[in-house]
Amino acid sequence: MQNFIKSKGYNFEVLMDLKDPETKENKVVSSYKVDGIPSKFIIDEKGIIRFHLMGFDGSNEAAVDELSMMIDMAKTHS
């Protein structure tokens, strides 16, 4: 996904919640109470969750376009 985002020139970060090697826990999954994969969160510069999407219904390009739109919307409301 990172290569796809870079190749399209998108300017947002994709973060992965990897398991802690010691506790075997996904800390973000626990903190955000994620109940489906993939889960996507759009968080504004103030740390407020503006959008939460779960699942995947299309192509990578469609998903990135949708997320880009939500990021732009979050920027205008923060």
**Three-class HEC string of the chain:** CHHHHHHHCCCCCCCCCCCCCCCCCCHHHHHHCCCCCCEEEEECCCCCEEEEEECCCCCHHHHHHHHHHHHHHHHHHC
Q: Give me the domain span that covers residue 42.
A: 2-77
Q: What is the pLDDT of residues 26-40, one digit of tens each?
A: 888 888 888 887 888
pLDDT of residue 22: 94
- How many domains would you assign to the chain? 1
pTM for the full predicted model: 0.56
Confidence of residue 23 (pLDDT cuts 50, 70, 90): very high
Has residue 53 got a pLDDT over 70? Answer: yes
Q: What is the predicted pLDDT for the residue at 21?
A: 92
Average of per-residue pLDDT across 40-56 = 86
- pLDDT confidence bin for 70, thresholds 50/70/90: confident
